[in-house]
């Protein structure tokens, strides 16, 4: 498929102009009072999620009114035939609620269900991870690459899935990995974990039951940084649907060593 690179670049550069200032403003507000609303079992949204979500939607609609928006919050749940913006105003809402400094704000851009650009901003460290398809992945304008570890036994592994009843299928897999990998951590913010794979800080990310807005921002980041992102059956993830994702991300060697443990 031939990509409209000029149109993609226009949206990508626009995204980079607004995500950082909005993220910085959100960080300043994070220590002030806010409301917490219950969406579903073990799922919450804050008044700041909704505020940032509305800011993003307003900016996108003002500048690209013909584009479709898919957001974790609100009624925007469609993927368009051409450009779609995937918004997660706060990835790590539970961390935000508990005033833990582990959350990001993220936006990805699709073209015909293909991820073509994204940005993940981590306000606490002022780190902006960003990527455009075919142009490489970057951290604050410095190009990044996945790690070079070739042995799963020496790999630094992070997991996106919470260890809870909601994901019983993950327990046996997690147990297998814990017996092999050298170090394992659970951060709980999938966009940040995939970015850490992309820049080589960790070697492997294993995720179970991710929603579209959780997985997409970091997906292209890993791929453009020279890594692989596959589902647990070993299929490379290229196009996006509304289905939940089980994925493994890292350099090709580590991913291939991990896949036999997943089934």
Q: How far apart are CA 250 and CA 256, in angstroms?
A: 9
Q: What are phi and psi of 84, to 5 degrees?
A: -130, 135
C-beta of residue 228 within 8 angstroms of C-beta of residue 205: no
pLDDT at 241: 66
Q: What are phi and psi of 179, to 5 degrees?
A: -80, -10
Per DSSP, the residues of 220-262 read HHHHHTT-EEEETTSPBP-B--SS-EEEEEE-HHHHHHHGGG-
Tens-digit pLDDT profile for residues 9-24: 999 999 999 999 999 9
Tens-digit pLDDT profile for residues 85-139: 999 999 999 899 999 999 999 999 999 989 999 999 999 999 999 999 999 999 9
Q: How far apart are CA 85 and CA 242, in angstroms?
A: 14
pLDDT-based confidence at residue 169 (cuts at 50, 70, 90): low
Tens-digit pLDDT profile for residues 201-240: 999 998 888 887 888 899 999 999 999 999 999 999 877 7
Tens-digit pLDDT profile for residues 41-75: 567 888 999 999 999 999 999 999 999 999 877 66
Average pLDDT, the chain: 89
Eight-class DSSP state of 77? B
pLDDT-based confidence at residue 164 (cuts at 50, 70, 90): low
Percent of the chain with pLDDT over 70: 92
pLDDT at 237: 85
Bridge pairing between strands 204-210 and 156-159: parallel
pLDDT of 167 higher than 60: no
Closest CA to 192 of 123, 103, 117: 103
pLDDT at 162: 54
Helix, strand and coil content of the chain, in percent to the nearest 5, comes to 35, 30, 35
Q: How far is CA 227 from the centre of its chain?
A: 15
CATH classification (class only), 152-261: alpha beta
Cα of first residue to Cα of last residue in the chain, in angstroms, is 32
pLDDT at 190: 92
**pTM of the entire structure?**
0.92
Identify the CATH homologous superfamily for domain 5-143: Fructose-1,6-Bisphosphatase, subunit A, domain 1 (3.30.540.10)
Q: How far apart are CA 173 and CA 76, in angstroms?
A: 34
Per-domain residue ranges for the chain? 5-143, 152-261
């Amino acid at each position: 498929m031939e990509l409209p690179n000029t149109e993609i670049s226009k949206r990508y550069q626009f995204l980079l102009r607004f995500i950082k200032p909005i993220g910085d403003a959100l960080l300043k507000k994070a220590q002030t009072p806010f409301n917490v609303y219950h969406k579903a079992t073990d799922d919450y949204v804050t008044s700041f999620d909704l505020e940032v979500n509305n800011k993003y939607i307003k900016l996108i609609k003002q500048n690209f009114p013909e584009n479709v928006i898919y957001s974790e919050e609100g009624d925007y749940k469609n993927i368009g035939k051409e450009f779609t913006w995937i918004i997660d105003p706060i990835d790590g809402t539970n961390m935000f609620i508990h005033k833990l400094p582990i959350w990001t704000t993220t936006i990805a851009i699709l073209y015909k269900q293909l991820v073509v650009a994204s940005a993940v901003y981590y306000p606490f460290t002022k780190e902006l991870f960003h990527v455009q398809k075919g142009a490489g992945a970057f951290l604050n304008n410095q190009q990044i690459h996945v790690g070079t570890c070739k042995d799963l036994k020496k790999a630094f592994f992070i997991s996106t899935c919470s260890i809870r009843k909601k994901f019983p299928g993950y327990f046996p897999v997690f147990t297998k990995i814990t017996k092999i990998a050298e170090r394992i951590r659970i951060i709980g913010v999938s966009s940040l974990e995939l970015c850490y794979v992309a820049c080589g800080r960790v070697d492997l990310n294993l995720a179970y039951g991710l929603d579209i807005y959780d997985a997409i921002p970091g997906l292209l980041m890993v791929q453009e940084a020279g890594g692989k992102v596959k589902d647990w059956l070993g299929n490379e993830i290229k196009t996006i649907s509304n289905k939940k994702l089980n994925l493994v991300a890292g350099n090709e060697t580590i991913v291939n060593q991990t896949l036999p443990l997943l089934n």
